[in-house]
Structure 1
Amino acid sequence: METHLETEKVKNPSLLGLITRPGEQFERMREKPAFWFPLVIVLILSVTGGYMVSEKTPLSAELSEIPDAEAFQAAMKGVGIIGGIFGFVIAMLISALIYWLIVKIGRGTTNFVHMFSLSVFTYFIAAIGQFIGGLVIYYSNIDPTIVVTSLNGIIPADEPLKSVLGVFDIFTIWSLALVALGLQKVGGISKKAAWTGVIILFVISILLALTAGMAINFFDSFEGAM
């Protein structure tokens, strides 16, 4: 009976509490994972930030020559929003799977629901960064390809270095630090195992950004030659 009453008293983890008292929220998450309402909030922040950036992204020369280019652009933005929603959910599912694997490798104990909750909550910080970046770009003349809260918002650079600098974003790093803490609190793995997993993920993100930057540089050079 006492155990049942203690379980009922467990509060849901709080998104805002993740900023001020992250350890407490992860303790709650371990007892009572939650994700539906946080998922909606994080999705709104992320998609809104992406939409504001897209509003300041000009049409390419080829698309601008299409009849009714503005209508076409509006339709593409609508498709982009829908695609962004599905892409966001898929990204959360994939990241939850990755966190689950890290915990299993680190000999912790968890399940997919807990890791999905961890994925959504920790992405809240990155979503705030996306929203702030979108606001800044929307109300200024900043290049929409720049991540304003990252090093490429401070250090001018061409591709592929530009994309690599974009990975060093204060909100992304903050989010990853929370992932490391969450893997310990929710997944029950050691500090060393949690940070090793997060550092590997960060290195992979740098390599992916480098590859994307090289691809952008290649296609820009190809179009210039044409």
Structure 2
Amino acid sequence: MKKIVHRAETRGTANFGWLTSRHTFSFGQYYNPERIHFGMLRVLNDDIVTGGAGFPTHPHDNMEIVSIPLKGALAHRDSTGTEKVINTGEVQIMSAGSGLTHSEYNASKEDDVNFLQIWVIPKEKDITPRYDQKEFEVSKRKNKIQTVVSPNDESALWINQDSWFALSNLDQDRSISYKPNKLGNGVYLFVLEGKVSIGGEELGKRDAIGITEINEFNISANENSEMLLIEVPMN
């Protein structure tokens, strides 16, 4: 097992008043030559947007973009004609493909929204842009792995990459194992809440670990914990 640990406090920071963002990888004005990407995982931003504010219409192409609200809701609109609200408990994916424009706003005028914005480099370029979202039952990730994004699982959201996203809520003193879906893939585990131990490392809230060269690994919860696992090709 090879591993790289990214502590929460080492992330880049951006504060625009209406937006506070923590960047795991180089993004915008934050640049760290040692933190450009983890395999095909290019962006993992932890964003808080104030009530009524958001990202005005802007373009994207050839990127798989996943949004996961952790608190609150997002109002989405794009050039495919999609206009949706993404609530906590739902996951959104957008294949920018050959190019589209979209906007993302806090659906509330008063309360903050906290969401993860994640970019994965696509497998095929210039596909037709597409959008999808889905609600996932929290009970189905209790002390187990719940796949929410996959290239080959009809119960999950489809992604244009050999990449799998999973959520897991582990009770204190419980353990679980994760086996990559594809040989050679790496797994980037991001702790949403709680404390877990992996490969001799204890990780707290918003800490992360990138794991490569593994067939399987164990995760142990030192307290009630919530995690996001992102499995991606490394090249």
Given the two structures, how large is their TM-score scaled by the length of structure 2? Answer: 0.26
Instruction: Give the structure-1-normalised TM-score.
Output: 0.26
- Counting strand residues as a fraction of each chain, which structure ranks higher? 2
Structure with the greater alpha carbon radius of gyration: 1
Relative contact order higher in (CA < 8 Å, ≥ 6 apart) = 1
